[in-house]
Amino acid sequence: MNVFAGFQPKLSEGSKQARLVFLGNIQPDLQRGVREQIPNADLVALDTMNLWIETTRDSLQKTIEVVDLVIINDAEARQLADEPNLIKAARKVLSWGPRGLIVKRGEYGAAMFTKKEYFAIPAYPLEAVFDPTGAGDTFAGGLMGYLASQEKIDEAAMRRAMIFGSVMASFNVEEFGTERVQRLTYDEINQRFREFKRFTHFEEIPFERAVKAVQ
């Protein structure tokens, strides 16, 4: 028995005009049904999980074929592509159609694969993780929210959106539920964004020049 029998999401006229769509983690036929109601969206992202990969793989792949961005975790990406090497797994998922694959790696950060680019960031370093529930969802929500604030969704905006999502997730896990996120200020967000820049920055100096400097 399918407990979702009869559940067929019907979007309001307003929702059908959405510029950005995030297909939350539900049965992939239903996700595709929603996606088809918003044919003109600029960007449609999708989340999924091991249950759908195992039980509805064909439908899931069909749904992935009609979205722009897949946002899943490390283990799901490998399982989805049936490929232990993440770079190969990403290439395979991208070959199905999406423009991008974002892989969430928990305390190791996140990576984004597109046909031409690769981008990877660490997680915000936290000494106290009070409640990790919803960290991945907060990341995805923050990412989509950031994109919604942008006029142009290009590689640079996607990268900033990943940082923004990571910042939001870092706040979310510091307290129970949505408590911390609810009282967040722009200043706090921007401060962690700047910290991300600080702890990923390095100078690019060709090695030969460095050697010559001491010779």
Q: How far is the CB of 97 from a copy of itself (least distance, A)?
A: 20
State in angstroms the smallest separation of the CB of 38 from a copy of itself: 20
Distance CA 32, CA 5 (A): 16
Q: Which of residues 64-103 bind a copy of itself (CB under 8 A)?
A: 85-88, 91
CB 68 within 8 A of CB 102: no
**Between the CA of residue 16 and those of 9, 38, 113, 129, what are the distances in Å?**
12, 5, 28, 38
SS3 43: strand
Least distance to a copy of itself from the beta carbon of 54, Å? 24
The residue among 68 and 74 lying less far from a copy of itself, judged by its C-beta, is 74
* Residue whose CB is less far from a copy of itself, 10 or 201: 201
Residue 189 C-beta: closest distance to a copy of itself, Å: 6
Nearer to a copy of itself, 8 or 149 (CB): 149
Query: Cβ neighbours of residue 106 under 8 Å, at least 6 residues apart?
Result: 73, 74, 123, 132, 135, 136
- State how beta strands 43-46 and 118-121 pair: unpaired
# residues near a copy of itself by CB under 8 A: 53
Rounded CA separation 213/30 (Å): 62
Residues lying near a copy of itself in the complex (CB under 8 A): 85-88, 91, 105, 107-109, 111, 117-122, 125-129, 146, 149-151, 156, 159-160, 162-164, 186, 189-190, 193-194, 196-208, 210-211, 213-214
